[in-house]
A and B are shown apart, each in its own frame.
Chain A
Amino acid sequence: MDIAINTSQSRYHVNEKGYYGDFGGAYIPEMLYPNVEELRENYLNIMRDPAFQQEFESLLRDYVGRPSPLYFASRLSEKYNSKIFLKREDLNHTGAHKINNTIGQILLAKRLGKKRIIAETGAGQHGVATATVCALMGLECIVYMGSVDIQRQAPNVARMKMLGATVVPATSGSQTLKDATNEAIRDWINNPVDTHYIIGSVVGPHPYPDMVARFQSVISEEIKKQLTEKTGKALPDYVIACVGGGSNAAGAFFHFTDDESVQLVAVEAAGKGVDSGFSAATSQLGKPGVIHASKTLLMQTDDGQIVEPHSISAGLDYPGVGPFHAHLYESGRAVFLNATDNEALAAGYELSLLEGIIPALESAHALAKLKDLQLNPEDVTVVCLSGRGDKDLETYIKHLK
C-alpha cells in the first residue's frame, strides 16, 4: 500500500499551488496561516516516510480491519440486472470510512508534536472516529457538533463521550455540519500552537482536501486489487459514492480518475427535492465561492451569504463540496446525481431486506441511484458503502411505513 504518495499525479488531483482546476486554495485569515503552512510544508514528507507508512498500514490492518471486503451483492444485482459490488467501509472499526483519515491524521499530528485534537462532525461518524484515535494515542479530543445533529445522531454522541471526548454543541446558523466546522476553525484560531484540527472530509484550506483524499485513497486502491481477483479486470464500469464534503467519494474515485472508461458517479442529497428550498445538492444549486477557506461550489444567495442546507442525513447536510469534486463536476469527469430523503430511506430499506445490510443514510443516497443508471447485465458497478446504519435507526423507524 502506498497511500497515494508515490503514484503519478492525475490531472484531476491537486496541483502544486493547492488547486484543482479553478478550485481549492487556502482562503484563511492570517491567524490560521502558521498552522496551515506548517501542515502544507510537512504533510507530504511525513506521509512519504516509510516508518509513517508502516505505522499507518499496520493500524489500518490490525485496528481498523482492512482491507474492507468487496462484496458481490447477488440479490441486489439480480434486482437491477447487473453486477453490483459493495465496498464494505461499513465493516471498518467504528462503522464508516472516516477512520481511514483519522488514523492518518492522528499519526501526522503526533509527528508535529500536537497535544490537543479538535474536529467537527455531522453524522457523528467522524467525531467517533476522531475520539477513537485520540483514545488510542492518549490525546485530548474536542468535537464540535451542531445542536440539531446532536439530537438526530444521539448514539454517536454517547459513543464519543464514552471514548473520552468532549462534545461541544454548535448553536449558530442551521446548527449542523457547516456551523460545527465554523466553531472548530474558531477553536483553532484561539489555540494555534498545540492543537491539530482533524478535518473530516475533503474540504477546508489546502492541504486538507489533498491530505484527506490521499488517506482515503486506500478505498480505490483496494477496489482495483479486489476487482481483479474477482472479475479478472481492475476497472469497473461505474463507481458510485455519496458526497457530503466528499471524502468517501474522493477515496473511491482517487485511483480511477485517469481511467476515463470508468464512469464516476457522485450522489448528492436532494433533501425534499432539488428545488424545494430544502436541499443539499450543491452542484445543482451552488455557484463558485469560498466556504471554509476553500474556493469551490457552494450554495449561496446572490449576495454571497451561505445558504442553510437540508438533508435527512446529517453527513450530507453541507452547503458545499470539496474542491476536488467541484473540479470533477465542472470538467465533466464525474456525473453528479442526487437522491431525495425519501429515495434514500427506500434504498436503505431495500438493501436491508435484499442483502441483510443496514446502510448509513448517507450511503443509502448512493444506493438510491442504482435504479436510475440503466445498468446492463455486463456492467460492473461498485457502490461505496461508506457506513453502517446503526446511528440512523431512529430516523429509519420514524419513517417506516
Chain B
Amino acid sequence: MNRIDQLFSTKPKEVLNIYFTAGFPQLGDTLTVLQALQDGGADMAEIGMPFSDPLADGPVIQDSSTRAIKNGMKLAVLFEQLKGFREKISIPVVLMGYINPVLQYGVENFLRSCQEVGVDGLILPDLPMDEYETEYKPLFEKYGQHLVFLVTPETSEARIRKIDSLSRGFVYAVSSSSTTGKDKDMQLQASYFEKLQSMQLKNPVLVGFGIRDKATFQQACRYSNGAIIGSAFVKAIENSANLQDTVQAFVRNIKQ
C-alpha cells in the first residue's frame, strides 16, 4: 500500500504535512530537515523541487527556491541525496514543484527515479488535469506515484468532483485564493470548507496556504484531515544555527 494511503487509514485526523525546499538553507540540508521532521513528529513531508519562476509562490518560497538553485540543487542532485533515505525515514514523502523541470528531466525518467528512491506522491500545480488524464496517468500508476490536485475557494462543485476522482492520496485544499505565504483570514472561508466537508470526497483533504502556527493548524483541522505548513516553516529554518533543534521545536509547537 502507498505510504500516504497507509497514513490516512491509521490516522484520519490532524495530519501535519510540512513543506520545505530541497537544498535549503544549504545544499546538503535536505535529509537533515527530513529526518528532523520525522523525529519531531511530522506525519508527512513535502519536498519542494526549486524552480526559477514559481508562479504560485510568495516571496518566502521564491527566495528559498532561488537560494537552493544557487546552492546547486537540481533534480539529479535531489535524487542522489534521496538515495537510501528509506532506510531511516518511514513517513510519506511527496515532491512538489513546477512542470518545466520535470519535462526536461523526462516525465517517465522522473517517475522512475521517484519510485527508485521511495517517494510516494507528487504535487505538480501547473500540470493540467486533462493532460494528466490523457497522457500521463498510466505512467504515474506504473511507478506507484500518487498525484495530488488542488482545489480553491473558486473551484466549482463539478470540478471538485472531477479533481477528487483523479487525485490519489489526498486533495490539497488551498485555503484562500492566494499565492503561498499570505495571511488571509481562514475564518472568511468557513463556507468553502463546510462545502468541501459536506461533499464527502473519496480522498482525504489537507488544507494548505496560510497555515503558520498551532492556531491556524487547528482551525484547518476542524474541517479536514489535516493541514500543510510551508512558508512559515521555510522562514523558521532560514537562519537556523541548529537545524535539528529548530525543525523539531517547530513541529512540537504545532503538535503539542
Contact B154 A192 (CB under 8 A): yes
10 contacts between A and B (CB under 8 A): A26-B128, A27-B99, A34-B154, A173-B52, A191-B177, A193-B177, A290-B103, A300-B100, A304-B100, A306-B53
Contact B154 A304 (CB under 8 A): no
Contact B150 A30 (CB under 8 A): yes
A178 contact set on B, CB distance < 8 A = 53
Contact B55 A290 (CB under 8 A): no
Enumerate B12-63 residues with CB–CB distance to A below 8 Å.
51-53, 55-56, 58, 62
A291 contact set on B, CB distance < 8 A = 53, 100
Contact B150 A31 (CB under 8 A): yes
Enumerate A348-397 residues with CB–CB distance to B below 8 Å.
none
Most interface-central of A31, A186, A289, A302 (chain B CB within 10 A)? A31
> Which single residue of chain B is at the shortest CB-CB distance from A17?
B130
User: Within the complex, which residue of A34, A189, A290 is in contact with B99, where a contact is CB–CB below 8 Å?
Assistant: A290
Contact B152 A182 (CB under 8 A): no
Q: Does A15 sit at the interface, judged by CB under 8 A?
A: no
> Which single residue of chain A is at the shortest CB-CB distance from B182?
A190
Contact B56 A31 (CB under 8 A): yes
Q: Which A residues are within 8 Å of any B CB, using their own CB?
A: 25-31, 33-34, 172-173, 178, 182, 185-186, 189-193, 287-293, 300, 302-306
Contact A304 B103 (CB under 8 A): yes
A288 contact set on B, CB distance < 8 A = 103
Contact A304 B178 (CB under 8 A): no
Contact B74 A28 (CB under 8 A): no
- CA–CA, A186 to B174, complex, Å? 15
B98 contact set on A, CB distance < 8 A = 290
User: Within the complex, which residue of A29, A185, A191, A305 is in contact with B69, where a contact is CB–CB below 8 Å?
Assistant: A305
Q: Which B residues are within 8 Å of any A CB, using their own CB?
A: 51-53, 55-56, 58, 62, 66, 69, 74-76, 98-105, 125-128, 131, 149-152, 154-156, 159, 163, 174, 177-179, 182
Contact A304 B55 (CB under 8 A): no
User: Within the complex, which residue of B51, B55, B69, B104 is in contact with A302, where a contact is CB–CB below 8 Å?
Assistant: B104
Known contacts A30-B152, A304-B103, then 10 further A-B pairs from the complex at CB < 8 Å, ordered by chain A residue: A31-B150, A31-B174, A31-B179, A172-B66, A182-B55, A192-B177, A289-B103, A290-B98, A293-B126, A305-B69
Most interface-central of B52, B74, B125 (chain A CB within 10 A)? B52
A190 contact set on B, CB distance < 8 A = 177-179, 182
B150 contact set on A, CB distance < 8 A = 29-31
> Which single residue of chain A is at the shortest CB-CB distance from B77?
A303
B131 contact set on A, CB distance < 8 A = 25
- CA–CA, A191 to B154, complex, Å? 11
Least CB distance from A197 to B in Å reads: 12
> Which single residue of chain A is at the shortest CB-CB distance from B126?
A27
Contact B62 A172 (CB under 8 A): yes
| A29 with B56, Cβ < 8 A, contacts A34-B154, A189-B177 known | yes
> Which single residue of chain B is at the shortest CB-CB distance from A303?
B74
> Which single residue of chain A is at the shortest CB-CB distance from B51?
A305
- CA–CA, A292 to B53, complex, Å? 9
A31 contact set on B, CB distance < 8 A = 56, 150, 152, 154, 174, 177-179
B76 contact set on A, CB distance < 8 A = 303
> Which single residue of chain B is at the shortest CB-CB distance from A172?
B62
| A304 with B56, Cβ < 8 A, contacts A25-B128, A30-B152, A192-B177 known | no
Least CB distance from B161 to A in Å reads: 14
- CA–CA, A291 to B126, complex, Å? 10
Instruction: In the A-B complex, list the 9 residue pairs whose CB atoms are closest, starting with the nearest.
Output: A304-B101, A304-B104, A29-B125, A303-B74, A30-B150, A305-B52, A34-B154, A29-B56, A27-B126
Least CB distance from A377 to B in Å reads: 47
Contact B75 A303 (CB under 8 A): yes
Least CB distance from B30 to A in Å reads: 16
Least CB distance from B14 to A in Å reads: 24
Most interface-central of A289, A291, A304 (chain B CB within 10 A)? A304
Contact A34 B155 (CB under 8 A): yes
- CA–CA, A29 to B155, complex, Å? 12
- CA–CA, A30 to B178, complex, Å? 11
- CA–CA, A182 to B105, complex, Å? 23
| A29 with B104, Cβ < 8 A, contacts A190-B182, A192-B154, A290-B99 known | no
B126 contact set on A, CB distance < 8 A = 27-29, 290, 293
- CA–CA, A129 to B93, complex, Å? 48
